[in-house]
Amino acid sequence: MKKITIISLILFSILLSSCYVKTSELASNSLDIKKAASLPQNTVPVGFDKYEKRVLLMIEDKNQKIELGFYDLKNGKIEALVKPVDSNKNIHNAVTDGKYVAWVEASDNLIRNDWSIYVKDLASRSVTKIDYGKLDNEISSKIPFSQEPKLSLNESKLVWSTYELENDKILCSLILYDLKKNKKDTIRSIDGLGKSYIGHPKVFGDFIVWHEGKIEGQSEVGEVYLYNIANGQIVKISDNGVTPNIYGENIVWVSDKSRIMLYNIKKKNIVEITRGGGIEERWLPSLNDEYVTWYDSMGKVELYNIKLAKIQILPVKTNNASRIFDNILTWIKWENDKTTPQFLVLPT
């Protein structure tokens, strides 16, 4: 295996999740790409500590093991954070809200149900194992979709979806874990051996979004749901969408492979940011209060200004996800067959 294999697998696993605005329009206050800064090679930005202004990085060492560290925006130094608790496994994904860091450890055999979820309290520095895969290999082999949890964390609330065995029945479940209260709740469960699965859950404040997806032909299709933690209500907000994301009162997702949709929880209206039908596919939108970003199969990074309702195409080529963490825009620059993780501080 080449040295880049583990990082490439991580990035691949990230992917394996009414008003129209012309994409040719550029925002009048376009961002200056020249202000972008590079992150160290063999790293992937996966989160941001808004309190200490640090980027959470997954870092590949010379032995292809993944560690976590914080990159300090003030001095450009990396602070080592954690290594895999189990030396026989690797860190596959990680998140932070600035108070906690959570991550998934698993073997590099993606069809096994041998994952564990750990959380580090950044104040006390303590590490706690809060959940793990409980299915044996025989049961796990019957499940047609990925079983590795993908985490989301906000305000001490951690969410993920996973497969469980309950009363001899395999279920695909959405889990909410309150780190302050040390309380685990199952929000929703569906048939784990059915055609659909619960995927890409994201949490912000009192809301969780996710899609219930399935594969039709060569395409992934799904429905987008919203859960209100405060009142316990689940609402379906779209019959056509995958990989939703949430920040504040706004939710974004992808419909029909290339349409980026924006939904406002308070107004209950949907805005079609990009129209579909072109040759490119658009993937993995993320957002903050001001901007939405995504990347596409043509290697473009696009940024939508929510207030101005206009799009800026950044003059950079990428072969991996662009994402927004609070007020940090990150992407992987692809130039002359070389990849460089970069970031840009967004105006607030």
Span 265-282, pLDDT tens digits: 999 999 999 987 776 899
Q: Kindly state the average pLDDT of the residues 58-81.
A: 94
Residue % of the chain over a pLDDT of 90: 72
User: Has residue 20 got a pLDDT over 80?
Assistant: no
Q: Residue 323 in contact with residue 286, Cβ under 8 Å?
A: yes
**What value does the CA radius of gyration of the chain take, rounded to a whole number of Å?**
19
Amino acid found at 80:
A
Q: What percent of the chain has pLDDT over 70?
A: 91
Q: How confident is the model at residue 321 (pLDDT cuts 50, 70, 90)?
A: confident
Sheet with 338-345, strands from edge to edge, namely: 37-38, 338-345, 328-335, 323-325
Quick one: average pLDDT of 90-114?
91
Q: Are 229 and 206 in contact (CB under 8 A)?
A: yes
Q: Which residues pair with 219 in a beta bridge?
A: 216
3-state secondary structure of 21: coil
Q: b/e string for 265-303 if b means 16 or more Cβ within 10 A? A: beeeebbebbeeeeeeebbbbbbbebbbbbbbeeebbbb
pLDDT band at 144 (very low <50, low <70, confident <90, very high): confident
Question: Under a CB-based contact definition with an 8 Å cutoff, are residues 133 and 151 in contact?
Answer: no
Distance CA 161, CA 155 (A): 18
Task: Name residue 251's beta-bridge partners.
Answer: 246, 263
- What is the phi/psi pair of residue 311, to 5°? -115, 140
